[in-house]
Amino acid sequence: MENLKKKNRLLSFLRDSNKKNFFQMCKEVAILAYLRGEIPKFYLKHLYKKEFKNWKYYLGTRYGNLIRLSKVLHKPENVSIISNKLLFAFHLERHGLETPKMVAYNLGSRFFYKEKCHEIGTKADLLKFFENTFSDRKVDALFVRPYSLYGGDGIFKLRATDFADTLDAHFEHFMKGGFIITECIVQHPQIAKIHNSSVNSIRFLTYIDDTKEVQIVSAFMRFGTGSRIIDNACAGGFFIGIDMPSGRLKEKGYRLALYSGKEVFEHPDSKFKLEGFEIPYFKEACDLVKKAVQHIPDRLIGWDVAISTNGPVIIEANEGPGLHISDMAYDGLLRNEHIQEMMRNVLSES
C-alpha cells in the first residue's frame, strides 16, 4: 500500500501542469535540505505547485517525527488515553464532555452491553446480540470503530434495516479485535447540505504553551465524497482551512496526491461553494477542545470534532496528528508563533 501511495504521488507530480519551473524547484529543494537536515521528499506531496509560496514554513518529515516522538510534548499517561478509543470514550463521558454516546464494546468474542458480558461464539450469536441491541436502543444505526487504528481504517456502520450482511463480513474482525460501538451523530443540517454521506469533522490542533495556556494553533475541516461514511483525506475525502477569527471556510481545499492532489473550490458531489461558509457552533467547538485539554493535558493534540444539531461533539483525539495536512491548510505551520515556540523546545530536546 505504501509503495502504491509513493507511485501515485510521483505520477501526480509528473502529470501536474501546475508545477513551478525546474530550476525553482531545485533551488527550493536544496534550501529545504539545508534548513531541515533531510532529503525533503515531502516536497513532492504539494510544495512543487506554483501556489505554495510559503514553502520554507512547512514542517517536513524530520520535524514531524521529532514532534511525534517528543517527550516534552507527550506524556505516556496522556497518550495511553488518547491512543485507545475505548479509554478515551470512558474518560470523556466520565467528565461530561460531549462525545458520541457509547452503546457497547467488545474484547474479541466478549461483548459488553449494560454492564453485562455476552460471550459470542458464532455469527448467529453476533446477529442476535445486535438484534437485541437495536430493539433495546431504538436507533436507526450504530457506528463501529476499532480501538487503535487511525485514518478511518476499520470503521463501518450498522443500519437497523440491513445489518446482517455487514455483520457477516466483519465477524472475523470482531472476534480478533476490539471495537467501540456508539450511537451515530446527527450532523448539523447546514453541514449536511454540503455532504451528508459522512459526518464531516473539524481537526483542531491545540498546544499548551510555555506559560501553561491552551492555544488553538490551527483548524481545518474535512469532507467525505461519494457514498463513503468517513471524511478522511487518506480515504478519498478532502480538507479545507478555517479562518480562525470568523469560523468560515477559506477559499479552497485540497485532495491528497493519492487522490489527484487537485484543489477543491466546491464539493465535487453537491457542487456547494466552500469559500465563506460559516461553520455552526464554531466558537463552542473551540471552547470544547480547550476544555478537553484540561482533562487530557498533553501539550500537542489533534482533536476531531463534529458539529451536531445541538452543538460540537468530540469524536476522537490524536497525539500524532497528520501535521502535513495542517501544514497545507494553514499554508506553513512554522509561520505560527506557538509552533515556533514548540519547535524551539523540541529541537533543544533532541
Number of separate domains in the chain: 3
Non-local (6+) Cβ contacts of 229 within 8 A are 155, 156, 157, 197, 198, 199
170 vs 154: CA distance, rounded Å: 10
Shared domain check, 203 and 108: no
Q: What is the pLDDT along the chain (350 residues), one digit of tens a residue?
A: 556 666 767 777 888 888 999 999 999 999 999 999 999 988 988 899 998 999 999 999 999 999 999 999 999 999 999 999 999 999 999 999 999 999 999 999 999 999 999 999 999 999 999 999 999 999 999 999 998 866 667 889 999 998 999 999 999 999 999 999 999 999 999 999 999 999 999 999 999 999 999 999 999 999 999 988 888 877 788 999 999 999 999 999 998 877 777 889 999 999 999 999 999 999 999 999 999 999 999 999 999 999 999 999 999 999 888 798 999 999 999 999 999 999 999 999 87
Give the angle subtended at the CA of 19 by the CAs of 16 and 21, to the nearest 5°.
140
Shared domain check, 82 and 209: yes
> Among 168, 183, 198, where does a domain finish?
183
**Which ranges constitute the DSSP H helices of the chain?**
2-15, 22-36, 60-69, 76-82, 85-94, 123-137, 163-176, 189-192, 282-295, 323-330, 337-349
Shared domain check, 323 and 212: yes
> Among 149, 183, 217, where does a domain finish?
183
Non-local (6+) Cβ contacts of 7 within 8 A are none
Quick: pLDDT tens for 119-176: 999 999 999 999 999 999 999 999 999 988 666 678 899 999 989 999 999 999 999 9
Sheet holding 178-183, edge to edge: 116-119, 110-113, 102-107, 178-183, 141-146, 156-159
Domain annotation covers residue 71 = no
> Among 132, 157, 183, where does a domain finish?
183
Domain annotation covers residue 70 = no
State the CATH number of the domain containing residue 266.
3.30.470.20
Q: CB-hemisphere CA count at 13 Å for 25?
A: 17
Domain annotation covers residue 219 = yes
Shared domain check, 216 and 179: no
pLDDT of residue 4: 62
Long-range contacts made by residues 243-249, C-beta under 8 angstroms, separation at least 24? 244/216, 244/218, 244/219, 246/278, 247/278, 247/279, 247/282, 247/283, 248/276, 248/277, 248/278, 248/279, 249/221, 249/274, 249/275, 249/276, 249/277, 249/279
Q: Give the global pTM.
A: 0.93
- Ramachandran class of 335: left when φ > 0, alpha when ψ lies in -120 to 50, beta otherwise: alpha
CB 218 within 8 A of CB 239: no
pLDDT of residue 131: 95
- Which range of residues forms the domain containing residue 211? 76-97+188-349
Q: Pairing state of beta strands 238-243 and 214-223?
A: antiparallel
Quick: pLDDT tens for 45-65: 889 999 899 999 999 999 999
Coil, helix or strand at residue 342: helix
CB 193 within 8 A of CB 313: no
Domain annotation covers residue 68 = no
Shared domain check, 279 and 214: yes
Domain annotation covers residue 310 = yes
Shared domain check, 163 and 30: no
Q: Pairing state of beta strands 102-107 and 116-119?
A: unpaired
Shared domain check, 326 and 274: yes
